Amino acid sequence: MMITTTDPSTGILTDTDIEATDDSQVATIAQTSDAAFRVLREHPRAWRAGLLRALAAGLEANRAELVAIARTETGLVTARLEGELTRSVTQLSMFADVVDEGSYLEATIDHAAQTPMGPGPDMRRMLVPIGPIAVFGSSNFPFAFSVPGGDTASALAAGNSVILKAHGSHPLTSRLAFDALNTAATAYGAPAGTLGIVYGQRAGATLVADPRVAAVGFTGSLATGRILLDIIEKREQPIPFYGELSSLNPLVVTPGAAAARAEAIAEGLFASVNGSAGQLCTKPGIAFVPAGPEGDGLVATIAALGHGAAPQPLLNSRILDAFSDIHGHLLDAPGVREIVASATGAEGFSVGAAVLEVDAADVTPAIAEEAFGPLIVLVRYRDFDEVARALTAVPNSLTATIHAEDDETDAIATLTDLFRDAVGRLVFNGYPTGVRVSWAQHHGGPWPATNSLHTSVGMTAVRRFLRPLAWQNAPQSALPIELQDSEAGIPRRVDGKLYLAS
Amino acid sequence: MMITTTDPSTGILTDTDIEATDDSQVATIAQTSDAAFRVLREHPRAWRAGLLRALAAGLEANRAELVAIARTETGLVTARLEGELTRSVTQLSMFADVVDEGSYLEATIDHAAQTPMGPGPDMRRMLVPIGPIAVFGSSNFPFAFSVPGGDTASALAAGNSVILKAHGSHPLTSRLAFDALNTAATAYGAPAGTLGIVYGQRAGATLVADPRVAAVGFTGSLATGRILLDIIEKREQPIPFYGELSSLNPLVVTPGAAAARAEAIAEGLFASVNGSAGQLCTKPGIAFVPAGPEGDGLVATIAALGHGAAPQPLLNSRILDAFSDIHGHLLDAPGVREIVASATGAEGFSVGAAVLEVDAADVTPAIAEEAFGPLIVLVRYRDFDEVARALTAVPNSLTATIHAEDDETDAIATLTDLFRDAVGRLVFNGYPTGVRVSWAQHHGGPWPATNSLHTSVGMTAVRRFLRPLAWQNAPQSALPIELQDSEAGIPRRVDGKLYLAS
């Protein structure tokens, strides 16, 4: 079966020269990946850091072609794609630094000692890689959450091999990115199978069921996530599934913030909703705005921005259809007022921004459905009790955002308390989109935002693809270098005390 | 329904005065636990460390009564129970040290900075507790993996409340341990519901389904683990299940080790198999012994020890029945030779040690079934290729043990390589039972040993009951003290660099 590709700007579908990967090909790829894993993990950390930097350089060397092909397959604008590729490149090189620094291994040594339970043996522990990792690319980030994305970078950094499932919305971009990475890996001396790629939905399912696959990284819809989880539950050996699934990302503007900077907030919020045609997992989909004049001004500014914004193509027809459906449901919900109607009639999969308004008292689960696209529901509230009540209808999210003035300390405390159990990241006086790649980042949240206690963005993302292994009374020769008696050049905990690398 | 208890030494079953917890009582307990959680997490770490130490003192104060009642309900010998209680006490106090030290929070600060993707906001991250934790006590450790066990200690250390499911084999011990902990918690000033307890199988299932429960810690059979996993999969919001399920714990004696110290190994191995009537998750259930005279001597010594050992009561009739069944299956498997027949005829649930022998060529999955009790299968091998082939029939385990002489470096490398993907702990020239509680311990392993990348023993066990939370551009007042600008007295990573507490 031939894989197709569509230009979202025109809606025209064409065949590619890529064949869907069949079951026996998936098995061969998994086999090769498993063999590569066994070679990869024998290499020292410095080698692996070098591999990650070589991959970063390989992407950079193909920048122009990658951005051009992604432009055609996603309809995303060039500046966004340039930035996203920079993100992928930077991410690879930051994970190289993580590997060099070595804290992520959690290297720990307890020397033999007398304990309250009698003589304790010498114990040493560190984290080790787990095997081939299946990475499912997302539709909305052709680079940063797809073939050359954070899951790939963190799985490789941990010492694993990676098998990519190319997203059906950008197969040519996926192949080009894969070729760029794979060529760089080969030139660096990495074993064949360090990276693999499969195409087609069936191949993705076959991959998740393959006994050699040790974990799955997934960014996508709740529905597809559930299908993959069902496959995992049927495996003889269950494996971790790290799914980033669905998120409404509520935002609250306090009365003080609305009074002080309604226009700035309106502009920032609208940019966060409308950028990349609203197709970001951290897009604020629901914003609480005070009732009354300051709130009215904020709404009016957003309305003006919405009316003035040009339609943008969505990534594919499924996303367009889902957007239209959910937009329709939201308009039908009791109490909802249409502030900006999504412009229609443009070519391809284009839609304009949509702005809806509802009173807090009318917020129900029907209003808290994620519309993947440039749509926001503005909720007008009179007090934080109304916000609290309305939030009971809002599912858990990746993020929540609070706009408040510094002197509104009670409001800040109340809202922080409302949100902290429901999200993975609390944003103050900013916007949740534009997720910084750094050590302190966390991209995750209670179900249905994710199904994990781990992050898929930031330096600690490597933890998902590692497991602890302990050595008891091992001879030095049987220990990894990081656990041998000699100074390992990494932070280690020895007899309970943390030591920095000297 | 009244909960019953049985003395394994006599087999006599009696009613207790404990009623099975009904569904509405479980709901009330979960509600109270959730309320307690919200209070607990507001307390500073020093307060929580104090709570853990108070619980340790509370157990110690009830030592004599606890050991006496556990003696009656488990049939385990007093010295073992004394040691186990010491383990529980020590564990609580070691987790108090973990809380004080603060590394476990992974406190991380990235100041606002220019990045390759543009200006990056101030990001701060640490781990936070997740809510009420359901802890299922095991049959075989009435203290260390039951009410006052490692799951309870680590869940509380992380800042959560705990709801215990008392094991049906020792309800009175569970209640007394709960009362000791609960009295100490109340005296310390902990909120009502910090600890809760439920009795009866149905109550356990109801607890796992309760929406307020945030995670489950479980030590028990694969079959019960699967039942609980099924309940979790039907929840609206899935939660982590940390199950420690089944483990055969292979052990290999090299030709060099057999030649050098057959008798010492035989004694150590038999003690590890027969101690606590073989009812330890880390009991070596299969041992590879060289064919030929040195191996013969080792087998003869084990046989003599087996014949000389007195029968011991198993924990309950289910375990006795399963032991007899599996013992029978093993004896029926092709090629199996009976070296020591399990002595019978004793009172109650007593059994004697059983020793079987088989050639490596005859090892099949039928021989690799875990017999929970004092039974070992000795596998005679001619070379490591035979060991490798036989191991393909052995499921993954918590541990693997290698007895080898120092100069057998090739053998050590070969065996380490055979085992490292299949277990969580590699033991050299020792025995896997007697799991040291320390920072470097890891008690876990690939499925079906556990279903987790985390440990249930050792100081890092707290990680199971925590999740990351990030704060973006937060005012100081909205941050936990550990992430505020001022020195927090704990190790922190700041702008990518790890700093010790000053």
Query: What would the pLDDT profile of B350-383 be if each residue is shown by its tens digit?
Result: 999 999 999 999 999 999 999 999 999 999 999 9
Residues of A within 8 A of B87 (CB-CB) are 116-117
* Single pTM value for the model: 0.97
Token representation of residue A477? 């020769």
Residues 109-138 of A with CB under 8 A from B: 109-110, 115-118, 120-121, 123-125, 128, 130-131
pLDDT at B28: 98
Contact criterion met (CB below 8 Å) for A160 and A129: yes
Measured between CA atoms, how close is B30 to chain A, in angstroms?
17
> Which of A240, A470, A477 lies at the smallest CB-CB distance from B409?
A477
| CA distances, B209 to each of A16, B19, B36, B111 (Å) | 48, 21, 19, 41
Token representation of residue A186? 């080969």
Token representation of residue A344? 């229609």
pLDDT at A345: 61
Mean pLDDT value of segment A146-156: 98
Distance of alpha carbon B432 from alpha carbon B282, whole angstroms: 6
A226 in reach of chain B (CB within 8 A)? no
Measured between CA atoms, how close is B339 to chain A, in angstroms?
30
Amino acid, res. B466: L
Whether residue B345 has pLDDT greater than 80: no
Backbone torsion region of residue B429, taken as left when φ is above 0, otherwise alpha when ψ lies between -120 and 50, otherwise beta: left
Core vs surface per residue B49-69: b (16+ CB within 10 A) or e: bbbbbbbbbbbbebeeebbeb
Q: Is B405 a catalytic residue?
A: no
Q: Which of B281, B369, B370, B408 is catalytic?
A: B281
Contact criterion met (CB below 8 Å) for B202 and B174: no
Q: Is A65 a catalytic residue?
A: no
pLDDT digits (tens, 9 = 90+) for A53-83: 999 999 999 999 999 999 999 999 999 999 9
Measured between CA atoms, how close is B468 to chain A, in angstroms?
7
| CA distances, A80 to each of A77, A142, A456 (Å) | 6, 11, 20
pLDDT digits (tens, 9 = 90+) for A77-111: 999 999 999 999 999 999 999 999 999 999 999 99
Contact (CB<8Å) B125/A458: yes
Contact (CB<8Å) B478/A416: yes
What secondary structure letter does DSSP report for A443?
Answer: -
B interface test, pick of A123, A455, A483 with most B CB neighbours within 10 Å? A123
- Name residues whose C-beta falls within 8 Å of residue B354's C-beta, 6 or more positions apart in sequence: B306, B327, B338, B340, B341, B342, B371, B373, B374, B375, B376
Mean pLDDT value of segment A36-44: 97
Measured between CA atoms, how close is A343 to chain B, in angstroms?
31
Residue linked to tokens 């939660």: B239
H-only helix segments in B336-429: 384-391, 409-419
A interface test, pick of B39, B90, B442, B454 with most A CB neighbours within 10 Å? B442
What secondary structure letter does DSSP report for B121?
Answer: P
Q: What's the alpha-carbon Rg for chain A, to the nearest Å?
A: 24
Mean pLDDT value of segment A290-294: 95
Residues of B within 8 A of A101 (CB-CB) are 496, 498
| Percent of chain A with pLDDT strictly greater than 90 | 96
Mean pLDDT value of segment A374-398: 98
Q: Which of B84, B101, B233, B244 is catalytic?
A: B244
> Which of A103, A237, A238 lies at the smallest CB-CB distance from B498?
A103
Contact (CB<8Å) A451/B238: yes
A211 in reach of chain B (CB within 8 A)? no
pLDDT digits (tens, 9 = 90+) for B464-494: 999 999 999 999 999 999 999 998 899 999 9
Chain B residue closest in CA terms to A435:
B120
pLDDT digits (tens, 9 = 90+) for A260-281: 999 999 999 999 999 999 999 9
> Which of A425, A447, A470 lies at the smallest CB-CB distance from B237?
A447
- Name residues whose C-beta falls within 8 Å of residue A359's C-beta, 6 or more positions apart in sequence: A291, A335, A379, A380, A381
A405 in reach of chain B (CB within 8 A)? no
For residue A137, report the phi and psi dihedrals to the nearest 5 degrees: -65, 150
> Which of A125, A440, A498 lies at the smallest CB-CB distance from B124?
A440
Residues of B within 8 A of A441 (CB-CB) are 110, 123, 125, 470
Residue linked to tokens 């939370």: B469
Contact (CB<8Å) B468/A455: yes
Whether residue A484 has pLDDT greater than 80: yes
pLDDT at A487: 83
Mean pLDDT value of segment B289-300: 97
What secondary structure letter does DSSP report for A467?
Answer: E
| Percent of chain B with pLDDT strictly greater than 70 | 100
Contact criterion met (CB below 8 Å) for A236 and A211: yes
Distance of alpha carbon B350 from alpha carbon B11, whole angstroms: 9
Contact (CB<8Å) A425/B478: no
Size of interface A-B (CB pairs under 8 A): 230
pLDDT at B215: 98
pLDDT digits (tens, 9 = 90+) for A451-479: 999 999 999 999 999 999 999 999 999 99
What secondary structure letter does DSSP report for B450?
Answer: B
B439 in reach of chain A (CB within 8 A)? yes
- Name residues whose C-beta falls within 8 Å of residue A235's C-beta, 6 or more positions apart in sequence: A209, A211
Residues of A within 8 A of B400 (CB-CB) are none
Selection from A283, A286, A282 nearest residue A445 by Cα: A282
Whether residue B343 has pLDDT greater than 90: no
Whether residue A492 has pLDDT greater than 80: yes
Chain A residue closest in CA terms to B84:
A117
Contact criterion met (CB below 8 Å) for B246 and B448: yes
pLDDT digits (tens, 9 = 90+) for B101-155: 999 999 999 999 999 999 999 999 999 999 999 999 999 999 999 999 999 999 9
Contact criterion met (CB below 8 Å) for B428 and B404: yes
Core vs surface per residue A373-391: b (16+ CB within 10 A) or e: bbbbbbbbbeebebbeebb
Mean pLDDT value of segment B433-456: 95
Amino acid, res. A252: V
Distance of alpha carbon B156 from alpha carbon B162, whole angstroms: 7
Task: Indicate the pLDDT class of residue A343, thresholds 50, 70 and 90.
Answer: confident
B271 in reach of chain A (CB within 8 A)? no
Contact criterion met (CB below 8 Å) for B474 and B85: no
